[in-house]
Structure 1
Amino acid sequence: MAQPSLSRAIAKLEEELGVALFHRVGRNAVLSSAGESMAERARQVLRDLDALRAAAQAVGEGAVGRVDVAATSSSALEPVISIIAELREHHPGVTVSTSSALSATEVVALVLRGRCEAGVCASAERPVGQGLVSHHLRDEQFLLVMPPGTAVGAGDGTITANDLRGMHFVVPHAATAVRARFDRLAAEVGELAIAAEVGDRSVVLPMVLRGVGAALMPDGWDYLARRSGASVYRFDPPERIPQWLIHRTGPITAAARAFIDTTLSRAQDAAE
């Protein structure tokens, strides 16, 4: 759409609603509070329309369409990768588009604002919000990942929190579940130093492999860490954090239903 046509459409909509949807700042425009509220509701309306279309298309064809899923980095590794693999086998008409989130709070926000239909994240507390449904999937375990050839603990592949004393760590920025757990252990054990603090969690494992320091990592990283040659240890007693599947109440697309049902089925099978 050309800019003049877009400007006229916005002006007409603002006139009909009787509120300003944008603030004009020089040559730019930013959403007003009313615009933010309307955008959030508009996304959900469009989601509902997609759900109606998908429901009609699914009759006789099975689940088809696209589902947008928000996930933190460890949850994207496990279970989201496994879920996508299973969906490709049983629901080849479903495409999963993932959005990366820094924290469980960000996953919840992406779902509540209608940007994503479902989310997977780890959080010590059950994610809550108006119109939000949350399902407990499993208890994710934290691992200690160290540079190749590094030995610690009793030699049986497990460590205690006290074994961390004196170590240097690569940690993510605040607001993540991993950083919260590191800060708690640092307060309990003491003498835990930060060698590097990173915003991009995908560089944590490469930095550990280069010997920058150790790292706390959720067990979704276990396979990649071991294949990369890192020394991986589990805590005794385990350091755990619940992992959740979330979605909104109300109509959902057939693709989202297939994703949710597959996720819950896998969690039930694992529990049994």
Structure 2
Amino acid sequence: MEFRQAEQFLAVVENGGLAHAAAALHLAQPSLSQTIRTLERELKAPLFHRVGRGLVLTSAGEALVEPARQLLRDLATARASVAEVAGIRGGQLDIAAMGGPLELILPAVGAFRRQHPEVFIRLENPSMESELLHQMRQGHSELGFATLLPEVDPHQLPGVEVTTFPPSPLMLVLPPSADHALPDPLPIGQLPDIPTMAVPGGAYARSAVETALRKARVRTRLAVVTAHRNTQTSLVLRGIGMAFATRKQALWAQERGALIRHLDPAVTLSTCAVRRPVPLSPAARAFLSLATECLGDPTS
């Protein structure tokens, strides 16, 4: 498969059809159709089903997406590595980061942009670890930053390489009207009867909290479920309920009037950097170095 074929195949995938893909690539639609037919003949398998006016991937087409994306990324990395002798002078860096880790690496984003203003950064913000890992394996992003439960073995996650950083505790963020006599740290068994904000089920942060609640034989009432961590603390400030948040989010809310408490026993999560097991581009290597300074010395 040639670079041109991979590029045009992915354009059809991402645009949902030939017409929009041809417009995005500034190609004539018959030329794009010919490229896809040629690729199907070479691979001896149909890549798309026609559904209405759009195209849907066949099982063979789905299997081709990840190798095609990696082919394009490998070529971009090779070009960037050759150009590295003259410094990082352009291109695009694709990063996926969940809410909590994103807040931690924002200083690295600023520092990188100051050092390499010619590089365009595209930041994706998946709401779930499973979504981020899927994006990384599919080649959507070159670097990912997510949370990891202490009991998850990073070496057992297929298709990616994971570097973990020192764990940090979650804190309880309470409305300004909450009882200021609550002890700090607050035993989980003594949580006040206040509705709870939560991230969606399946997210590692929610799993960690629910495990701690079960061990303490505590049940809470859900008030709001949202993938946006900052939304939770904003709702706490409005008296809607309480939330379990990272230290940075908790301190932000405390500055605005919220009551915060450490938890006993502590509920901890590790931040991790995720990448595919392939060479990183010079831009990604430079960014990962800056992000490591923000996150602390890696533990594995």
TM-score (norm 1): 0.88
Shift of the alpha carbon at 1:226?
2.5
Once structures 1 and 2 are overlaid, which stretch shifts more, 252-261 or 63-72? Answer: 63-72
Shift of the alpha carbon at 1:49?
0.7
Quote the Cα distance in structure 2 between the aligned partners of 1:184 and 1:130: 25
Q: Secondary structure at the match of 1:138?
A: coil
Shift of the alpha carbon at 1:198?
2.9
Any conservation in 1 of the 2:173–2:242 contact (CA below 8 Å)?
yes
Shift of the alpha carbon at 1:135?
0.8
Closer, same or farther: CA 267–97 of 1 in aligned 2, 3 Å: same
Equivalent runs, 1:49-88 vs 2, <5 Å? 49-62=75-88, 64-78=90-104, 80-88=105-113
Shift of the alpha carbon at 1:45?
0.8
Q: Secondary structure at the match of 1:175?
A: coil
- Higher relative contact order by CA 8 Å / sep ≥ 6: 1 or 2? 1
Q: Secondary structure at the match of 1:59?
A: helix
Shift of the alpha carbon at 1:136?
1.2
Any conservation in 2 of the 1:158–1:233 contact (CA below 8 Å)?
yes
Q: Counterpart of 1:6? A: 32
Paired letter, 1:183: E
Unaligned runs of 5+ in 2: 1-21, 23-27
Once structures 1 and 2 are overlaid, which stretch shifts more, 173-182 or 49-58? Answer: 173-182
Q: Counterpart of 1:158? A: 185
Any conservation in 2 of the 1:145–1:231 contact (CA below 8 Å)?
yes
Once structures 1 and 2 are overlaid, which stretch shifts more, 129-138 or 237-246? Answer: 129-138
TM-score (norm 2): 0.81
Q: Counterpart of 1:177? A: 204
Q: Counterpart of 1:261? A: 289
- The total of aligned residue pairs comes to 269
Shift of the alpha carbon at 1:199?
4.7
Any conservation in 1 of the 2:234–2:253 contact (CA below 8 Å)?
no
Q: Counterpart of 2:74? A: 48
Closer, same or farther: CA 204–268 of 1 in aligned 2, 3 Å: closer
- Percent identity, aligned pairs only, is 28
Shift of the alpha carbon at 1:130?
4.1
Q: Secondary structure at the match of 2:145?
A: strand
Quote the Cα distance in structure 2 between the aligned partners of 1:53 and 1:198: 41
Shift of the alpha carbon at 1:121?
0.7
Closer, same or farther: CA 269–17 of 1 in aligned 2, 3 Å: closer
Q: Counterpart of 2:275? A: 247
1:234 matched to 2:262? yes
Q: Counterpart of 1:139? A: 167
Quote the Cα distance in structure 2 between the aligned partners of 1:154 and 1:203: 24
Closer, same or farther: CA 74–266 of 1 in aligned 2, 3 Å: closer
Which contiguous aligned blocks of 4+ residues in structure 1 show a shift greater than 6 angstroms? none
Quote the Cα distance in structure 2 between the aligned partners of 1:207 and 1:259: 33
Equivalent of residue 218 in structure 2, options 190, 195, 202? 190
